[in-house]
Amino acid sequence: MALRDQIRVLVVDDMSTSRGLITNALDSFGIRHVASASDGQTALQKIASFPVHLVISDYNMPGMDGLQLLHSLRSNAPTRGVGFLLITGRADREIIDHGKRLGMNNFLKKPFDPPRLRASIEAIVGKL
């Protein structure tokens, strides 16, 4: 069975349009086990009942930004090893360095296209 048939992904973004673009791209890659959340707190609740291999998260969200979500994941034993891809329009060196210190696996700058999204995911989980 191919990786794309097994992998479970959670897309976290406060903008429904962005969630839709990412989810549609994942579908085009053949990834079928996808959940979504509109904020970090909801994402943590979903992961408790829908364990995932990869979180694709926006950086700029109300309440809990993407790096705070990453910190929460890395601070919790069951989610410590979950892959994490940060998608941001603000790919400032400070944000990226902070993310790396927290254990971010990869990042992608907005706007992006599906081939770059796929390459960013494959750099974390392997060939889809």
CATH number at residue 17: 3.40.50.2300
The per-residue pLDDT for 93 is 92
Structure tokens at 99: 């993310």
SS3 96: helix
Q: Show the domain range for 13.
A: 3-125
Between 16-28 and 114-125, two packed helices, what is the crossing angle to 10 degrees? 70
Total number of domains constituting the chain:
1
102 and 71 Cβ atoms separated by less than 8 Å: yes
In the predicted model, what is the mean pLDDT of the chain? 95
- Alpha-carbon span 52 to 27, nearest angstrom: 16
Residue pair 85/106 in contact (Cβ under 8 Å)? The answer is yes
Stated pTM of the model: 0.96
Cα separation of 54 and 59, whole Å?
A: 15
pLDDT exceeds 80 at position 1? no
Summarised one tens digit per residue, pLDDT across range 35-91 is 999 999 999 999 999 999 999 999 999 999 999 999 999 999 999 999 999 999 887
CA distance linking residue 95 with residue 91, whole number of Å: 7
* Res. 2 pLDDT band, cuts 50 70 90: confident
Tell me: pLDDT of 98 over 90.
yes
Is pLDDT above 80 for 31? Answer: yes
Task: State mean pLDDT over 96-114.
Answer: 95
**Predicted pLDDT at 91:** 74
Q: Which residues pair with 108 in a beta bridge?
A: 87
3-class DSSP state for residue 114? helix
Contact 108, 90 (CB under 8 A): no
